[in-house]
Structure 1
Amino acid sequence: MDGKNKEALKEIERLTAKADEVQENILKEILTQNSATEYLIKYMKGSKNMLEFKQSVPVITYKAIRPYIQRIANGEDSSLITSHPITEMIRSSGTSEGKPKFLPSIEEDLDRNMFFISLITPIMNQYVPGVDEGKHMYFFFVNKEISAPCGLPVRTASSRLLQSKHFKRQARDPSNDNNTSPYQAILCSDISQSLYCQILAGLIHRHQVQRLGAAFASILLQVISVLERNWVRFCNDIRTGQLDLMITDLECRSCMSTLLSSPDPCFANEIENICSRASWKGILCQLWPRAKFIETVITGSMAQYIPALEFYSDEKLPLVSNVYASSECFLGVNLKPLCDPSDVAYTLLPNMGYFEFIPLGEDGTMLMNVGEEDDVPNDKLVDLVQVRLGCYYELVVTTFAGLYRYRVGDVLQVIGFHNRAPQFRYICRRNVILSLDTEKTNEEDLQKSINVAKKLLEPYNVLLVDYTSYADASTMPGHYVLYWEILFHGSSKADDQLANIAALDEKMLQECCIAVEEELDFKYRICRTHNKSVGPLEIRVVEPGTFEELMDFFIDQGASINQYKTPRCIKPEGALKLLNSHVKASFFSPRDPKAATPTIVDSTNVYNVIM
């Protein structure tokens, strides 16, 4: 390991060993710099005292800070919320709540984020020596830039990084030619053309690629889907040495012409022989035989895609989930990247922002007792080093850019410590729920239920590719609807897939319905069996490619492909209409779920933990 990597690891040790001291200094620095802002003066009257901050500044959601952000977007000064000039607005994906948020960003944020990213390779090098050698086939994308009324650029967090001077300098450095994707292809705002060129570049470098990756697991499955539909075109490009005419972007054509410098029919035949096989099980290892691991987020809602990635890699490539980040703030790193996906834990780096936590109980049963817009008493939050092993928390951040005691919406569980810094398991986004009556189903509970149900598909060689849900209140009583896209092993042809859907075993899918219901909590089952206020759960099987179209829908609405996560609860009417237009079969629970026995909870304890 070289000196640069050793220094990075030493810095992680220093930061985590003095996590309490680092956090205290971060908050002092934020208050010193921003005490004269309109927002903090409102609550602290110019004070820079940390105790005053914790007693006086409220815990907020985006709704509370949005008016200040809107004023800045309309041309007022950044000093409303921060002493630093706001250089741009960061747009969140918007897939969790149906619409994006716009968050302030300052130049110093970029430096912090680049420091954060610089730690990833040194961590990986401890487990996979030479990880920074060879080629990295990592898929990057940028969105079309828009501007706020005042002229500030509005970008996604990933687009900001990719368009920054740091990334440009690295991308244009001949000694840093590790990524397979040409920089011009990455910057192409036409996602379909960018993706085509990046896949083609990855195929051209297939014998040099040592790591595969994308921001989220869902993106990699999108890559496989595009490859599956277009491999004949890719082979033809390589065979003739000419880029397909469907690529019209001049920058893309220019950079790809360098890679396609001459016809190579033998190389094209290699790829054709692999892609024309009846089954694509293990296709990633066959196309990129030197790859050592897959690098992507596989926690939270992304855990759904683990079986698909294991299928396409034949379980030979470790799935590595390196980082935990949000549009608000870069947060934590995985110090044991080769761990089992179910054991992924992120160590929050205490220099990235000031972190506090809303307690949610020791077993997660308190999860739904604090609503997204409920007031949270200031004195009930705990600091980073005060969290307790095994307990659940909602993350709250304070940043230099003007977010103060801001509820990110992520639910985390403490599963260990590295020095003094806690290590968290990501559980879910707390604002993704289904509810028709008194029951409330969060993302984690829905995921667990579907994990049980999808095991019933395995004997039939059927894989659940993706899913989402909807609380349909148009029926009497209302009922939960699950949209499932499924894949039949052994066939990659769309016509065969549709034929198999038409011949689905009705009993099998009905059993999947009841399996989901019997894994949901007792409140749901009470509503189903006793109150009859919720009707039988329904699974609607959609045709292949539907969730790809759903992603396109959200991207057209302004979401970033880098940040896109399939929403586990559908809200926009247009997205729901799209899903319903692709339904090929529908199945309902054949009976009520087994009766539920409620857990008795001491209301005093609930009050003490939450209030």
Structure 2
Amino acid sequence: MRQRLLVRWLGARPRLRRQESGTPRSCSSSRNVDSVQERVLAEILGRNVDTEYLRNCGLDGGTADRATFRAKVPVASYDALHPYIQRIANGDRSPILSTHPVSEFLTSSGTSGGEPKLMPTVEDELHRRQLLYSLLMPVMNLYFPGLDSGKGLYFLFVKPETKTPGGLTARPVLTSYYKSELFKNRPSCDTYHNYTSPTAAILCADAFQSMYAQMVCGLCQRHDVLRLGAVFASGLLRAIRFLQLNWEQLAADIETGVLSPRVVTDASVREAVAAILRPDADLAQFVRDECCKGDWAGIVTRIWPNTKCLDVIVTGAMAQYVPALRHYSGGLPMACTMYASSECYFGLNLRPRCDPSEVAYTIMPNMGYFEFLPVPVDEATGGVVDAGNLVDLARVEAGREYELVITTYSGLNRYRVGDVLRVTGFHNAAP
């Protein structure tokens, strides 16, 4: 499966939409996009100008400004960066792409030479990405008031990870996030990450046991659930199918208040669920009554009656699942909240209650340095891109389409992400 969180996983072409009534008042970063972008690039160059890659481009500490960066640093594909990345993966700890040590690799979509693409990341990048997560609940609350007073039933899973020859971990970006101390030790005041699922269930490597534990905990706390979701629309449908296939065993365990040892063997999961699961004959009978009917229309709101919305990716390839989700949810709104990837987190949907066909993202200018290559690209040059054609974030035009090019704190410089974006307007000055 492609490991991109949002757009490129799905082949979507996100649209960046104008602020409308009810959109949250922006911070100064959305009003002063160009100055924020200049500061971000100065910070990136200030820490990475002494790397091998940028020195090879002709930069040094005395020429590390925006104009020189644009004049000397070429637009790069993954293949161009692969030799540098491979050296890091093999154990070279010199400052090749970043002066900060590479903490791990995030596996990205696509392959190079038949192997998953490896995106280097550094320790403080996780904290930067957490800032974007911290904006999600305030935005959601504007459209779904009171959402922070309950819990979310999210079906979240970790994926397998590997080690590079040099000993660095390589894993999907969400697996990295779920296994981080930042996630595992998140404060109780973090209302967006207030889940019905115990962390041990999310971190369980066995997908069946993880799903079973998350489902039983969600059933036990059904009146607390105000939002229900998964990363993808298809993942939420898998959870509903899981309930269809396993409701009898789930009801039996709820009735006894103990997980069947034939179903869940992971000791950490059993211990975590034991803090939530109690004998409840009434709830067990309710589950049986609702699931034995054969009619699954509106099952989400029948079992979790206080649910205000679904929180899933429904753009691109996931759009095909929208009718099924509407059927099972009784027509609940579907919030598609964030545009992000293993290379960088980009922006938020500031209108999460919009129709799935109208999902749009506002780029946050403090997450990285963003440039845009007008589409179509002149293929007569054999794919060689003239860096002089790139447009700054503050200078994109409504109605135009651009390929996204990013420079990150982790050491990607003028990297072609591959996503094509259509600009439809601005939130203040942020497209």
Give the alignment's TM-score, normalised by structure 1: 0.63
Where 1:417 maps in the other structure, the secondary structure is coil
Where 2:388 maps in the other structure, the secondary structure is helix
Distance (whole Å) between structure 2 residues aligned to residue 78 and residue 143 of structure 1 = 30
Q: 1:318 to 1:259 in 2, by over 3 A?
A: same
Q: 1:174 to 1:409 in 2, by over 3 A?
A: closer
Distance (whole Å) between structure 1 residues aligned to residue 200 and residue 162 of structure 2 = 20
Moved more, 138-147 or 210-219: 138-147
Q: 1:349 to 1:49 in 2, by over 3 A?
A: same
Q: 1:373 to 1:75 in 2, by over 3 A?
A: farther
Distance (whole Å) between structure 1 residues aligned to residue 132 and residue 214 of structure 2 = 25
Q: 1:405 to 1:55 in 2, by over 3 A?
A: same
Deviation at 1:145, TM superposition (A): 3.5
Deviation at 1:305, TM superposition (A): 1.5
Deviation at 1:156, TM superposition (A): 1.6
In the alignment, structure 2 segments of 5+ residues that lack a partner are 1-23
Give the conservation status (yes or no) of the 8 Å contact 2:79–2:112: no
Deviation at 1:337, TM superposition (A): 1.0
Match of residue 398, structure 1, among 384, 403, 407: 407
1:412 aligns with 2:421: yes
Aligned ranges for residues 182-261 of structure 1 at < 5 Å? 182-244=198-260, 245-261=262-278
Deviation at 1:122, TM superposition (A): 0.6
Where 1:100 maps in the other structure, the secondary structure is strand
1:40 aligns with 2:54: yes
Alignment partner, residue 20 of structure 1: 34
Deviation at 1:240, TM superposition (A): 2.2
Where 1:356 maps in the other structure, the secondary structure is strand
Alignment partner, residue 136 of structure 1: 152
Distance (whole Å) between structure 1 residues aligned to residue 169 and residue 45 of structure 2 = 27
Q: Aligned residues, how many?
A: 405
Amino acid at match of 1:249: D
Where 2:307 maps in the other structure, the secondary structure is coil
Distance (whole Å) between structure 1 residues aligned to residue 382 and residue 148 of structure 2 = 45
Q: 1:143 to 1:371 in 2, by over 3 A?
A: farther
Deviation at 1:113, TM superposition (A): 0.6
Amino acid at match of 2:385: V
Q: 1:174 to 1:81 in 2, by over 3 A?
A: closer
Match of residue 370, structure 2, among 343, 355, 366: 355
In the alignment, structure 1 segments of 5+ residues that lack a partner are 1-8, 361-365, 423-611
Distance (whole Å) between structure 2 residues aligned to residue 82 and residue 246 of structure 1 = 46
Distance (whole Å) between structure 2 residues aligned to residue 345 and residue 55 of structure 1 = 32
1:341 aligns with 2:359: no
Alignment partner, residue 299 of structure 2: 283
Distance (whole Å) between structure 2 residues aligned to residue 93 and residue 31 of structure 1 = 27
Aligned residues: CA RMSD: 2.3
Deviation at 1:373, TM superposition (A): 8.2
Distance (whole Å) between structure 1 residues aligned to residue 381 and residue 299 of structure 2 = 42
Alignment partner, residue 81 of structure 1: 97
Moved more, 18-27 or 135-144: 135-144
Aligned ranges for residues 207-606 of structure 1 at < 5 Å? 207-244=223-260, 245-262=262-279, 264-315=280-331, 317-360=332-375, 366=376, 370=379, 374-422=383-431
Where 1:54 maps in the other structure, the secondary structure is helix
Q: 1:292 to 1:150 in 2, by over 3 A?
A: same
Distance (whole Å) between structure 2 residues aligned to residue 293 and residue 153 of structure 1 = 35
Deviation at 1:119, TM superposition (A): 0.2
Distance (whole Å) between structure 2 residues aligned to residue 268 and residue 134 of structure 1 = 22
Where 2:322 maps in the other structure, the secondary structure is helix
Amino acid at match of 1:234: L
Q: Deviations over 1:146-175 (max 9, x none)?
A: 22222222222112221222212226x599
Where 2:424 maps in the other structure, the secondary structure is strand
Aligned ranges for residues 81-230 of structure 1 at < 5 Å? 81-94=97-110, 99-170=115-186, 173=188, 178-230=194-246
Give the conservation status (yes or no) of the 8 Å contact 1:133–1:178: no
Q: Deviations over 1:462-513 (max 9, x none)?
A: xxxxxxxxxxxxxxxxxxxxxxxxxxxxxxxxxxxxxxxxxxxxxxxxxxxx
Give the conservation status (yes or no) of the 8 Å contact 1:281–1:314: yes
Give the conservation status (yes or no) of the 8 Å contact 2:371–2:390: yes
Distance (whole Å) between structure 1 residues aligned to residue 350 and residue 228 of structure 2 = 19
Q: Deviations over 1:203-238 (max 9, x none)?
A: 111121111111221211111121111111111111
Give the conservation status (yes or no) of the 8 Å contact 2:59–2:72: no
Amino acid at match of 2:399: G
Give the conservation status (yes or no) of the 8 Å contact 2:334–2:356: yes
